């Protein structure tokens, strides 16, 4: 993988190349930045560069590249077995083959996870130590790329700390973190933080045109809505994606609530109550964004609004019903529902309660 496969982030790449030219590549670096900014893509391109862009990297099976990532305990695993990355190597390589931009939810789906928590186990750190103790087979660097190190359990973190304290020669740890503050301080102190920014809107727009074949005007609108997040841009491109479903559910909810169709609202609440809790929380988070965007739409300042063309078309009719008298109330309704769902409240009750509260909220006038 090369830097040309990365969306934007030329400034970040220039900093990495300068580090190499000045012989300042740290033995352990922690790549951080906003979701969807391409941290993993840049990490993969950098690892490829350090390993000489070998043809072995085309299928991500280079002997001097070790991947570590969160895993779950599969149903077929024995009671004493601690899952390690190699248990899911096939799924991982397939994920990378599909592209370097993916989310934890997508990775959980690839592993066939139900409601498990994905972690990096102590057994994984033992395996890292064993593999990195060997000399590089190609005579250059060995690279250990750790995705989401904050998901290491305490045993794993303490074992990895020992490796970082006495790193093997010619080894570079590249850690890609979404929540670096959740890493134990002793590991953070032994890594050099490499901060990345959101992708420039112009870079997302250009990539949508060149890589996805979008019409420039559509690409422009989606790029603004993405707010520097390539994953978010891809979601907007995919007509069958989850956000499209959430948009349909939002419009249905608001129309039924405005018309006070209690029977239809009960059917709505029962249908979304069947979703898993994580999906319900993502839906409610989307609803909060839609409330905010519809409220901002009323100010007639396009630069303040971040909606897809379809969302904006709905806002032309719906936005007037979101005003200073109810915008905070509606936001609070959805925020409290997220909290209740997180605390394992009955989903049917929570969702039906939402519908009734929204009926009242939409009646409020400024």
Per-residue pLDDT at 241 = 64
Q: Which residue has the higher pLDDT, 190 or 305?
A: 190
**Phi, psi angle pair for 66, to nearest 5°:** -110, 125
pLDDT in tens, 301-321: 877 777 888 888 999 999 999
Distance of CA 41 to the CA centre of its chain: 13
Mean pLDDT, rounded, of the chain: 91
What is the Cα–Cα distance from 116 to 156, expressed in whole angstroms? Answer: 18
pLDDT in tens, 108-159: 999 998 777 899 999 999 999 898 888 887 778 899 999 999 999 999 999 9
pLDDT-derived band of residue 191, with 50, 70 and 90 as boundaries? very high
pLDDT at 366 over 90: no
DSSP structural state of residue 73? -
Strand partners, 68: 146
pLDDT-derived band of residue 1, with 50, 70 and 90 as boundaries? confident
Q: Which residue has the tokens 């690409």?
A: 219
C-beta atoms surrounding 141 within 10 Å: 18
| Tokens at 52, concatenated | 């000489």
pLDDT in tens, 235-266: 878 754 678 889 999 999 999 999 999 999 99
End-to-end CA distance of the chain: give it in Å, rounded: 55
The pLDDT > 70 percentage for the chain reads: 99
pLDDT at 76 over 70: yes
Per-residue pLDDT at 36 = 94
pLDDT-derived band of residue 34, with 50, 70 and 90 as boundaries? very high
Cβ 235 vs Cβ 243: under 8 Å: yes
Strand partners, 173: 28, 144
pLDDT at 10 over 80: yes
- pTM here is 0.71
- In this structure, the dihedral spanned by the alpha carbons of residues 270, 275, 276 and 277, taken in order and rounded to 10 degrees, is -60
What is the Cα–Cα distance from 234 to 257, expressed in whole angstroms? Answer: 31
DSSP structural state of residue 213? -
pLDDT at 285 over 80: yes
Contacts 24+ apart (CB under 8 A), 128-133: 128/66, 128/68, 128/160, 128/163, 129/159, 129/162, 129/163, 131/66, 132/66, 132/163, 132/168, 132/171, 133/168
Average pLDDT rounded to a whole number, residues 205-215: 90
pLDDT in tens, 214-243: 888 888 888 988 899 999 898 878 754 678
């Amino acid at each position: 993988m090369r830097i040309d496969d990365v969306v934007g982030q030329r400034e970040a790449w220039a900093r990495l190349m300068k580090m190499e030219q000045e012989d300042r590549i740290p033995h352990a670096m922690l790549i951080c930045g906003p979701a969807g900014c391409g941290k993993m893509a840049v990490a993969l391109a950098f690892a490829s560069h350090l390993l000489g862009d070998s043809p072995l990297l085309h299928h991500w099976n280079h002997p001097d590249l070790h991947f570590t990532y969160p895993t779950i305990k599969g149903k077929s695993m024995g009671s004493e077995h601690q899952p390690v990355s190699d248990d899911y190597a096939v799924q991982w390589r397939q994920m990378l083959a599909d592209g370097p931009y993916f989310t934890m939810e997508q990775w959980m789906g690839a592993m066939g996870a139900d409601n498990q928590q994905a972690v990096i186990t102590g057994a994984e750190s033992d395996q890292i130590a064993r593999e990195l103790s060997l000399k590089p087979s190609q005579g250059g660097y060995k690279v250990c790329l750790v995705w989401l190190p904050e998901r290491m359990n305490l045993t794993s973190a303490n074992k990895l700390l020992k490796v970082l304290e006495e790193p093997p020669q010619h080894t570079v740890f590249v850690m890609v973190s979404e929540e670096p503050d959740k890493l134990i301080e002793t590991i953070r102190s032994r890594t050099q933080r490499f901060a990345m920014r959101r992708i420039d809107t112009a870079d997302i727009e250009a990539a949508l045109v060149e890589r996805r074949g979008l019409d420039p005007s559509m690409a422009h609108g989606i790029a603004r809505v993405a707010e520097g997040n390539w994953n978010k841009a891809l979601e907007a491109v995919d007509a069958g994606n989850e956000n499209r479903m959430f948009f349909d559910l939002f419009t249905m909810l608001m129309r039924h609530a405005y018309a006070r169709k209690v029977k239809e609202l009960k059917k709505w609440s029962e249908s979304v109550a069947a979703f898993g809790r994580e999906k319900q929380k993502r839906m409610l988070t989307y609803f909060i964004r839609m409330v905010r965007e519809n409220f901002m739409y009323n100010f007639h300042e396009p630069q303040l609004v971040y909606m897809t063309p379809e969302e904006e078309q709905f806002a032309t009719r719906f936005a007037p019903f979101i005003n200073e008298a109810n915008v905070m109330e509606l936001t609070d309704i959805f925020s409290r529902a997220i909290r209740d769902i997180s605390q394992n409240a009955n989903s049917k009750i929570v969702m039906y309660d939402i519908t009734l509260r929204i009926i009242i909220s939409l009646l409020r006038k400024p």
